[in-house]
Amino acid sequence: MPPVPRKRIVIVGAGFGGMAAVKALKGANADITLVDRTNHHLFQPLLYQVATAALSPADIATATRALLRYDKHTTVLMSEVESVDADRRIVRLADGPELAYDFLILATGAAYSFFGHGEWAKYAQVLKTLADALSIRERLLSAFEWAEECGDPEMIRRLLTFVVVGGGPTGVEMAGTIAELARSTLAWDFKNIDPRSARIILCEAGDRVLSAFPHRLSHYAAGALRKLGVEVQLNEAVNEIDATGLALGETCIETANIIWCAGTEARPAARWIGADAARNRGVKVEPDCSVPGRPEIFAIGDVSSFDSGSGAPLPGLAPVAKQQGAYVGRLLKARLAGRREPGPFRYKDFGTMAIIGRSHAIADFGRFTLTGFPAWLAWSLVHLMLLVDFRSRILVYVNWSWAFFTYGRGARLLTGVPRRPQWQRRAGLG
């Protein structure tokens, strides 16, 4: 009897969902091709710590090939997907060959949305990739360096004003960490300026930060931010962003540093395959994460819109992507082996956490909640264990320990020539 030919599975995206699918497919009768725009798997929950000089890029990212070097049936390609011909079952790469598939898993993630104001992207920085994090780190550290040399009080005020837009976990974590950077790490490093005078503003259009958490935890987080010196502006939407700063309601804030941590939208996978999309452009999927009418195509993680039965799609969290990736991998492995497939996907919510600053965090585990140091400790342990390899765990643990006892940060080098804000260049300072 001739051997059963191996199926071809193409996975687009080497994030949490894509890597979980690869792991679950280990030993399946299939040849897997993993395509990603970068050559690394990134632990996004700690990306803000790279942006604020607490960690180095290599602490939270590992080369995808290194992770899969012993998987002889998985090929890794660093390329950009241009389109998908769902009828012919072909993935077209922007700079490579066409990839034929029997099954396709889309795990391309999401990007930040400026709510129809794409022109704001020119003036506000976002945090989704390592390049984004390094760009923010460069701008943060350079702002203090430029303020030290300029001697103009008005310009110093603008340089040392930092605005974070969005009161979700990323925005809260970013604002709290910038405050600690200014108030503690850099406090005694300059002679002409006082970094502790930096103004950190967190803007949220809703009536509370961390709205996905219970009210008590949101209230605690807002209080912890204010203790760190962060100005929490609620019920105020951003009306305009330009080279001079932003308009928040009726107030204009002059600043050189705007970090956008507000809404997100799925990457254009729905357009590739001609599928129905939700408001955030996520692919609407069946209970088994497949695309309606296309049982050979699956969408997982942030690029999908999965109806959990609660009236709202599952949130764009790493645990959702990991569980969906593992589920689809198990489903395809069973299908290829002719075994009974698992039932519909069910997300297991083990709790959500957010860190506000040193020894301040919140954790919601459903039956009980934590705040303060216990929550911070739980957050630290969970994130250490979720890191993809042992080397990363050791590096992050050492850096965190050093920062906790000394308030120091080990990734403060500026290796390029940062570009000054346009208004500062006009003033003759660059």
Q: What is the pLDDT of residues 201-224, one digit of tens each?
A: 999 999 999 998 999 999 999 999
- Residue 326 lies inside a defined structural domain of this protein: yes
**Whole-structure pTM value:** 0.89
User: Which 3-state string (H, E, C) describes the chain?
Assistant: CCCCCCEEEEEECCCHHHHHHHHHCCCCCEEEEEEECCCEEECHHHHHHHHCCCCCHHHHEEEHHHHCCCCCCEEEEECCEEEEECCCCEEEECCCCCEECCEEEECCCEEECCCCCHHHHHCCEECCCHHHHHHHHHHHHHHHHHHHHHCCHHHHHHHCEEEEECCCHHHHHHHHHHHHHHHHHCCCCCCCCCHHHCEEEEEECCCCCCCCCCHHHHHHHHHHHHHCCEEEEECCCEEEEECCEEEECCEEEECCEEEECCCEEECCHHHHHCCCECCCCCEECCCCCEECCEEEEEECHHHEECECCCCCECCCCHHHHHHHHHHHHHHHHHHHHCCCCCCCCCCCCCCEEEEEECCEEEEECCCCEEEHHHHHHHHHHHHHHHCCCHHHHHHHHHHHHHHHHHCCCCCCCCCCCCCCCHHHHHCCCC
* Annotated active-site residue in 145, 149, 154, 173: 173
- Residue 2 lies inside a defined structural domain of this protein: no
Same domain flag for 290 and 329:
yes
Same domain flag for 107 and 122:
no
Which CATH number covers residue 13?
3.50.50.60
Same domain flag for 211 and 301:
no
Which CATH number covers residue 155?
3.50.50.100
Q: Give the end of a domain, one of 297, 315, 337.
A: 337
- Residue 140 lies inside a defined structural domain of this protein: yes
State the Cα angle at 424 between 423 and 427, rounded to 5°. 95
- Residue 390 lies inside a defined structural domain of this protein: yes
- Residue 19 lies inside a defined structural domain of this protein: yes
- Residue 49 lies inside a defined structural domain of this protein: no
Q: Give the end of a domain, one of 280, 309, 337.
A: 337
- Residue 47 lies inside a defined structural domain of this protein: no
Same domain flag for 148 and 274:
no
pLDDT in tens, 142-180: 999 999 998 889 999 999 999 999 999 999 999 999 999
Same domain flag for 225 and 185:
yes
Same domain flag for 133 and 11:
no
- Residue 230 lies inside a defined structural domain of this protein: yes
Beta pairing, strands 283-284 & 304-305: parallel
36/133 Cα distance (integer angstroms): 19
Identify whether the C-beta of residue 219 lies closer than 8 Å to the C-beta of residue 178.
no
Encode 292-331: b = buried (16+ Cβ within 10 Å), e = exposed: eebebbbbbbbbbbbeeeeeebbebbbbbbbbbbbbbbbb
Same domain flag for 187 and 158:
yes
92/133 Cα distance (integer angstroms): 29
Q: Give the end of a domain, one of 282, 307, 337.
A: 337
Same domain flag for 142 and 191:
yes
Full residue range of the structural domain in which residue 147 is found: 118-262+351-426
Same domain flag for 108 and 125:
no
Same domain flag for 203 and 129:
yes
In this prediction, residue 97 carries a pLDDT of 84
Identify whether the C-beta of residue 408 lies closer than 8 Å to the C-beta of residue 402.
yes
- Is residue 173 among the annotated active site residues? yes
Same domain flag for 379 and 252:
yes
Same domain flag for 228 and 363:
yes
Number of domains into which the chain is organized = 2
For the chain, 430 residues long, give each residue's pLDDT as a single digit of tens.
Answer: 556 688 999 999 999 999 999 999 999 999 999 999 999 999 999 999 999 988 888 889 999 999 999 989 999 999 999 999 999 999 999 987 899 999 999 999 988 888 888 899 999 999 999 999 999 999 999 999 999 998 889 999 999 999 999 999 999 999 999 999 999 888 888 999 999 999 999 999 999 999 989 999 999 999 999 999 999 999 988 999 998 999 988 889 999 899 999 878 888 888 899 888 888 889 999 999 999 999 999 999 999 999 877 777 888 889 999 999 999 999 999 999 999 999 999 999 888 999 998 889 999 998 899 999 999 999 888 888 888 777 788 888 787 777 766 666 666 777 765 666 665 554 444 4
Identify whether the C-beta of residue 258 lies closer than 8 Å to the C-beta of residue 122.
no
